[in-house]
Structure 1
Amino acid sequence: MKQLLYGFLLAIQFLTRLPVPVQCPWNRDTSRWAIRSYPLVGMIMAVFLMAIHLLLEPFLPLSMMVLVLLTAWVWLSGGLHLDGWMDVADAVGSNRSLEKKWEIMKDPHVGSFGIIALFFLLAWKCLLVYLLIDGGTLIYSFLFVLAFSRLGAVILMLALPTAKQHGLAWEWKMNISWFDGLCAFLPIAIILFWFNDFLFLLPAYIFFYILFGAWMAYQFKGSNGDLLGAAIEGGELWGLAIIWTYFSFVMG
């Protein structure tokens, strides 16, 4: 039980800015429980965003509410995955060799492709959150979007080799198996049972994992921390878009 708790707290420390006033040991067991906790941490972040929405909705105009939510969203993650999104955009936009792409991703400076990619990512997120709030479907959407996108990082970590035999992604991958991926899915399965109107997201995200994984394998021949961070950001945008499309056109 102690290893489970430490692993859960490790996942919170790694994926969010939420304070964890405990020194958590890193070992095989705690790292496995941390990976299993990825979607659950996404749900906790979603609860924070939903609480902000419920508390401030009576007082703020819709456009300001969207900006507050997006600001809180970025703050909660510490911009960790946005950094990966920008690094990957710079690498892909360079049209250079595979080794040069890896070098670009390690460069701490952000290039023009990274800035452009960040701008459009946040712009599309703003628009989709606005539309979901306006359509009345936002309140539970965050739960699924943040959980499924972090499950995607786990699935891709398991499915693809790490590009280098060192680094954070390699350290995580060394200690996990597909059983850990199944454990990570369990919290999502539970909320899907209660909110079965969102079952359509399961095949939608499976398609996304396959598509993004195939793209990673083609472009980079493997994974690393930046690519998994980009997968989380891409998964969040994908989820928002799928939910809006489904409730606007399929159910509408």
Structure 2
Amino acid sequence: MTQSTREETHKPQGDRRDAAHGLGLAIQFLTRIPLPVACDWNQASRRWAARAYPLVGALIGVALGMVSWGSGALGLPLPLQALLIVSLWVGLSGGLHLDGLMDLADALGSNAPLEKRWAIMKDPQVGSFAVVVLVFHLAWKLALVWWLLELEAGIWWLVAIPALARWMAVFLLVRVPAARPEGLAHLWQQSLGPRDLVLATALPVLLSVLPFVLMSSGQAWSMLTLGLATALFVVIFAAGARRTFGGISGDLLGAAIEGGELWLLVWASSWWWFATA
């Protein structure tokens, strides 16, 4: 066997290894689910991890959907169903993204100059703005999940929203420069390009289009408009990050995921309310 033949044989194996390790990295960075293996940390695995962000979000959504279906089958009251869903939602991510949201709240609430805002975001202490935003964020999330359950919107939205919110993080990594030449966001960004964003977009597109095959037209259109709402939010967030911080950071990515999920819950519940009125 020639050298070139051996390289061609090993390349698909290397790609599969990078893809598997990339998925593992995505799970490690987006959830608190422990993995029994150590994943490679290299440029290829980081690319695959970003491509897998929406997939990990969809897997989180599947878990939420199973809890929704199971608690409904047991006849639990809607408030308790909603509380179980939101509790698992927070538990699976371990509050990682909430931490970014809270840091952003303290930084913006300070009305301080840019350098001071960065110092506040790095400060491990929790300020009053962070606490207020956390309480209202979770309260709104609980209320909107409860409302969607009451509207009998099904469980497809539970799968789609976490996936779409994590796609936003990939969009920001590819399209918005890092605010500072340091940190994980900057390091990750060096490995990514437009092709990675295109590949990461495949699953969100599928989640938006597949309902036209599996569901009624009303449900299908709700999922399609959810994709449009995702694009609207991430474009506005990207502009805000550029203007306020000069770019993105790890905390801002976490805040985008949490804010995106809440925005999509508002959109989904409003759509279903108007559609069923």
State the TM-score bracket (shorter-chain normalisation). Answer: over 0.9
Q: Does the 8 A contact of 2:208 with 2:226 survive in 1? A: no
Equivalent pairs counted in the alignment come to 252
Give the deviation of 1:19 after TM superposition: 2.2
- Separation in 2 of the partners of 1:247 and 1:61? 20
Task: Give the structure with higher Rg (CA).
Answer: 2
- Separation in 1 of the partners of 2:195 and 2:93? 26
Q: Does 1:109 align with 2:125?
A: yes
Q: Does 1:237 align with 2:252?
A: no
Identity of aligned residues (%): 43
Matches within 5 A, 1:137-152: 137-152=153-168
- Residue number in structure 2 paired with 1:19: 34
Moved over 4 A (4+): none
Matches within 5 A, 1:1-252: 1-57=16-72, 58-196=74-212, 197=220, 198-250=223-275, 252=277
- Separation in 2 of the partners of 1:74 and 1:104? 24
- Separation in 1 of the partners of 2:126 and 2:175? 29
SS of equivalent residue, structure 2 residue 144: helix
Gaps of at least 5 residues in structure 1 are none
Q: Does the 8 A contact of 1:129 with 1:138 survive in 2? A: no
Gaps of at least 5 residues in structure 2 are 1-15, 213-219
For 1:65-117, what per-residue CA distance to the aligned partner results, in whole angstroms no more than 9, with x for missing partners? 11111111100001000000000000000000000000000000110000011
Q: Does the 8 A contact of 1:152 with 1:209 survive in 2? A: yes
Give the deviation of 1:251 after TM superposition: 5.4
- Separation in 2 of the partners of 1:117 and 1:3? 38
Report the more deviating stretch, 210-219 or 77-86. 210-219
Give the deviation of 1:126 after TM superposition: 0.6
For 1:18-73, what per-residue CA distance to the aligned partner results, in whole angstroms no more than 9, with x for missing partners? 22111111001000000000000000000011111111222421111111111111
- Separation in 2 of the partners of 1:96 and 1:206? 30
- Separation in 2 of the partners of 1:199 and 1:222? 29
SS of equivalent residue, structure 1 residue 29: helix
- Separation in 2 of the partners of 1:190 and 1:210? 21
2:229 partner amino acid: A
- Separation in 2 of the partners of 1:191 and 1:95? 39
Report the more deviating stretch, 53-62 or 160-169. 53-62
Q: 1:227 to 1:41 in 2, by over 3 A?
A: same
Give the deviation of 1:187 after TM superposition: 1.1
Two-structure CA RMSD over aligned residues (Å)? 1.1
Q: Does the 8 A contact of 2:64 with 2:159 survive in 1? A: no
2:272 partner amino acid: F
- Separation in 2 of the partners of 1:6 and 1:89? 33
Q: 1:138 to 1:241 in 2, by over 3 A?
A: farther
- Separation in 1 of the partners of 2:179 and 2:111? 18
